[in-house]
Amino acid sequence: VDKNSQRLTIAIQKSGRLSKESIALLQACGFKFSLHEARLLAHSSNQPVDLLRVRDDDIPGLVMDGVVDLGLVGENVLEEVRLERKATQLACDVQRLRALDFGQCRLSIAVPKEEAYNGIQDLDGKRIATTYPYLLQNYLQDRGVSANNAILTGSVEVAPRAGLADAVCDLVSTGATLEANGLVEKEVIFRSQAQLIQRPEPLSAAKQAIVDQLLPRIDGVQMARE
- The contact set with Zn ion (CB under 5 A) reads 56-57
**Which residue's CB is nearer to ligand ATP, number 9 or number 13?**
13
192 binds, among ligand ATP, Zn ion, none (CB under 5 to 8 A by kind): ligand ATP
Grouping H, G, I as helix, E, B as strand and the rest as coil, residue 109 is strand
In terms of CB distance, is 175 or 182 closer to ligand ATP? 175
- Give the DSSP H or E segment for 8: strand 8-13
CB-wise, 50 or 75, nearer to ligand ATP? Answer: 75
Q: Which stretch binds ligand ATP (CB under 6 A): 54-62, 84-92, 181-189, 217-225?
A: 54-62
192 touching ligand ATP, by CB under 6 A: yes
Span interacting with ligand ATP, options 25-33, 52-60, 114-122, 214-222, rule CB under 6 A: 52-60
Q: Nearest 5°: phi and psi at 116?
A: -70, 145
Can you tell me which of 18, 49, 70, 152 binds ligand ATP, judged by CB under 6 A? 18
Q: Rounded to 10 degrees, what is the CA torsion of 185, 191, 196, 198?
A: -110
Closest CB 193 distance from ligand ATP, rounded Å: 8
- With contacts defined by CB under 6 A, how many residues of the chain interact with ligand ATP? 16
- Which among 71-79, 139-147, 183-191, 205-213 is the span making contact with ligand ATP, rule CB under 6 A? 71-79
Q: Determine, following the binding rule CB under 6 A, whether residue 13 of this chain makes contact with ligand ATP.
A: yes
SS3 category, 192: strand
Type and span of the H or E element at 168: strand 167-172
Count other Cβ atoms within 10 Å, centred on residue 168: 28
171 binds ligand ATP (CB under 6 A): yes
- CA–CA separation, 72 vs 59, rounded Å? 8
Q: Which of 76, 130, 195, 198 binds ligand ATP (CB under 6 A)?
A: 76
Segment (H or E) for 61: helix 59-64
Dihedral angle over CA of 55, 57, 226, 25, nearest 10: -30
Shortest distance (Å) from residue 17 CB to ligand ATP: 4
Question: What mask of x and - would describe binding to ligand ATP in positions 110 to 149, judged by CB under 6 A?
Answer: ----------------------------------------
DSSP string for 32-57? -B---TT-SEEEBSSSSEEEEEE-GG
Q: In terms of C-beta density within 10 A (0-12 exposed, 13-18 middle, 19 or more buried), how is residue 109 classed? A: buried
Binding footprint of ligand ATP on the chain (CB under 6 A): 13, 16-18, 55-57, 74, 76-77, 103-105, 171, 173, 192
